[in-house]
Amino acid sequence: MSGPTADAWINPLRDSRDRRLPHIAGPCGLVIFGVTGDLARKKLMPAVYDLANRGLLPPGFALVGFARRDWADEDFGKIVHDAVREHARTPFREHVWEQLSRGIRFVQGSFDDAAAFTELKNTLATLDRERGTRGNHAFYLSIPPAQFPTVCQQLSQSGLAKSVDGQWRRVVIEKPFGHDLDSARELNAVVNKVFPEDTVFRIDHYLGKETVQNILALRFANQLFDPIWNSHYVDHVQITMAEDIGLGGRAGYYDGIGAARDVIQNHLLQLLAFTAMEEPVSFEPSELQAEKIKVLSATRLAEPLDETTARGQYAGGWQGGLEVVGLHDEEGFAKDSTTETYAAITLEVDTRRWAGVPFYLRTGKRLGRRVTEIAVVFKRAPHLPFDATMTEELGQNALVIRVQPDEGVTMRFGSKVPGSSMEVRDVNMDFSYGQAFTVSSPEAYERLILDVLLGEPSLFPVNAEVELSWTILDPALEHWARQGMPEPYEAGTWGPPSAEEMMRRTGREWRRP
């Protein structure tokens, strides 16, 4: 072998395309709108520090906060410092903080204040000169969607959204991406009027989790699973995101949104897409997005919706040894609210691979425990050599991808019980990230913020994915809107009786993680 290909083979560290190497962001800065909120304090600021601590940010990186508070740069720096001390994943190092803090600035103003955006423009120009950010800036809209049009308009009118002379400008949007298909299209149009689609990064923090990305490795790097990853062998798929907490102080945000809009439309449908998509030609962003769009285009709600969906609201009860109140007793929640805190739907994927395989998606608050998982449940074997007593304690084989909190993969299969008789029971084969790797996984926001700064859009849903997700979910939302009050379920249980009945109709049952 000769030439650059041979050199790269001999020493892959010399190949700039080697995806095993860490990618370091070039000269740039990040502007956070909504910098006084919990997301910025608990996730965004610590993630920026952790990236700096790992050497993945440029030495002259700039962090700018924008809010109404009457803060000087030093005041904002203290806020960032305290957030980092409390929430950062990596150890605090004084020299890293010193370098990062020299690029921290604050701009005071409201979202409709044109003068404040002029000041922001001047601040960024100063950082370009003093910190070498070279006009490359990302704008993180950690704000309610209702404020997106105002901020985008101000960024446009001030000239901050326009890329010139090889500089880049990008915008980062937090969910929810609308509340139905029409509002999502309207929101996309507002944002795309200012920022071209290839500069828009819609954050779904679940896609930044290592275990979600591991779905691609599990499926496409191993010959073991591909032959059985289809309707010939798979009975059904369950995708669960369960929380053991109630709404607490989020009642004002949550009322009118509900579990389906908050979780199913984005997180769970993205997990379905990763699970059901065909193998991409490569891991280039356009190829990944194309396969996700294909599978979402083929996905629809199973009918009739009375039998294939369920929703509920948590009532009071006992959880974790504590007595907790029901939804309607939560402070700030309307007593007559029909907003669901539990939602379950049945989906069908009309492709050759998945024809006839139901996908069950569920999410809820005040459930039995906090867990997010994807369970691929296989059809039962014929058991021809065994009589009924030998296999009566044997369930269905399953492959379970644990997204959180105990990240890993479990395989459930039958094994002979020690002894003189032939008796088969379920056993588990377990892979845990914490035990298999000595390096701790980055937080999702670390990966996603770095990808924004690198201009790497693979893990960010595009317009088509967002609109297809609403196309899938909207019929269920419209159906529930006609049904009145959701069914109550006791705190600490696994949801309303109608969800259990939904599964029993097909001879199946929900997993108890």
Binding site for substrate: residue ranges?
205, 209, 243, 262, 365
Side-chain-side CA neighbours of residue 307 (13 Å): 6
H-helix or E-strand spanning residue 428: strand 424-432
Q: Which residues contact 435 (CB under 8 A, 6 or more apart)?
A: none
Active site residue 87: no
CB atoms within 10 A of CB 180: 16
- Residue 281 CA to residue 7 CA, distance in Å, equals 25
CA distance 499 to 489: 10
What residues are paired with 347 via a beta bridge? 301, 359
Given 137, 232, 267, 479, the catalytic residue: 267
Q: Are 486 and 189 in contact (CB under 8 A)?
A: no
Judge whether 142 and 173 are in contact, CB under 8 Å.
no
Separation CA 503–CA 492 (nearest Å): 20
Amino acid identity, residue 236?
A: H
Q: Are 121 and 139 a contacting pair, CB within 8 Å?
A: no
As to burial, measured by CB atoms within 10 angstroms (0-12 exposed, 13-18 middle, 19+ buried), residue 403 is buried
Helix, coil or strand: residue 45: helix
Please identify which residue in the block is written with the tokens 């002029």. 118
Binding site feature residues for NADP(+):
68, 175
351 close to 295: Cβ distance less than 8 angstroms: yes
Q: Give the residue numbers of the binding site.
A: 68, 175, 205, 209, 243, 262, 365
457 preceded by a cis bond (ω within 30 of 0): no
Q: What is the DSSP string of 257-303?
A: THHIIIIIIIIIHHHHHHHHPPPPSSSSHHHHHHHHHHHHHTEEE-S
Active site residues: 267
